[in-house]
Amino acid sequence: MSVYLIPIKIAFILFGVLSFFLIIPWLVYSYRKYGYLSLWASIVAYSFTFYMLSVLFLVLLPLPDTRNTCALQSPDTVHYNLIPFNFVRDIMNSGSVVWSQPSTYVRLLTQSAFLQAAFNFLLLLPLGVYLRYFFQQKRFWKKALGFGFALSLFIETTQITGIYGIYNCPYRIFDVDDLILNSTGALFGFVIAPVLLALFPSRNSLIAKGEKMQENSLVPPLSQLLAVIIDYLLIKMSWNLTAGLFPTSGFAEFVYKTTCFFILFFVVPFIWRGNTIGTKILRFKLVHVDGEAPPWQSMLKRSFAIYLPFAISWALNIFSGVELDITLNPYHVWITMIILAFLIIMWAVLFIHTMFILMKRGRRNFYFDYVADLVPRKHKFDPK
């Protein structure tokens, strides 16, 4: 059993790392696709990613300890089986089951040939379920069979080539029975999928819900927060890919980020009449409470309200790195502790405020929009 559990554990670890980096792109895609951030669509996408990683590691791991796998095998080793249904013969020839005695059939569960065949059948069965969810209609069963065969062929080709030349000899064989069982499993999953999918919302219902939500002018608070995060990440990335590549002082970083901050949060939305890059991506804009385009005073208040917590955090980093005379060290420590305590309280308050706004589901504005007399309004939604 550990042969199967270890690859799944590795897939889970890698999935956790990928999830961290893909969360923002996925949320943007989900909002643009459905018009709102769907929890069910997220579960489907993330579970499919984890499943595909698990399939990949199950068929490739464990890897050999050396690239010279030829030295580990005898010269007459055969790396392929091109005889269809050879697994049936292996099962029938097993001495553990007496086919005239049904009471011995339970021994199949301990028979390696049967378990190997069952594993290959079940390996791509979930793929068929996912394909049925994506394609919806049963008339696409040929596509499900084709996708199952193509993925299985990719796996077998990867194995017979020693992962495309990484190993000088294959460490697993190319088996035509695997192609048959994998493809059949994917088709079977496609056929039985409605029984499982009946318990969950369909893609059509997600799109219908998105269209209904567009009738409401309220912008989901998570989308508002995501737009701010996107704009901030652009500042962070621009620093890391430009001046951050060279040795610089903390003060230079502070000046750079401050300049970029007011460009993205003040200049850009003022020129774009209420649109930042983040709000543009998420298809909403900021308008004044009277329904007009936001004046520069409102945009300045909003940008400063968002900037202040970050500015205090950046200033603390600069202050912490300042080297003072030894006689001033006690004061430096106390001032640093006071600022740190203030930061903890400030970010705790902002976290509670954010949770409160998220629970209100758009009926209350974030503090930075409230102080600036701004409200978010949706663009026209056009599902692709």
pLDDT digits (tens, 9 = 90+) for 239-265: 888 877 777 777 788 888 889 999 999
Q: What is the model's pLDDT at position 129?
A: 93
Q: What is the pLDDT of residues 89-123, one digit of tens each?
A: 888 777 677 767 777 777 777 778 888 889 999 99
Q: What is the model's pLDDT at position 327?
A: 53
Q: What is the model's pLDDT at position 176?
A: 93
- Give the strand pairing for 174-175 and 374-378: unpaired
Distance from C-alpha of 320 to C-alpha of 224, rounded to nearest angstrom: 33
Spans of the chain below 70 pLDDT: 1-3, 95, 99, 210-217, 317-333, 379-384
Q: What is the model's pLDDT at position 383?
A: 47
Q: What is the model's pLDDT at position 200?
A: 78
Helix (H, G, I), strand (E, B) or coil at 288: strand
Distance from C-alpha of 43 to C-alpha of 46, rounded to nearest angstrom: 5
Q: What is the model's pLDDT at position 384?
A: 47
Query: Is the dihedral angle over the CA atoms 322, 325, 327, 328 positive or is it negative?
Result: negative
CA distances from 301 to 33, 176, 267, 308 (A): 32, 67, 12, 11
**pTM of the full predicted structure?**
0.77
Distance from C-alpha of 136 to C-alpha of 130, rounded to nearest angstrom: 10
Q: How far apart are the first and last CA of the chain?
A: 44
Q: What is the model's pLDDT at position 180?
A: 94
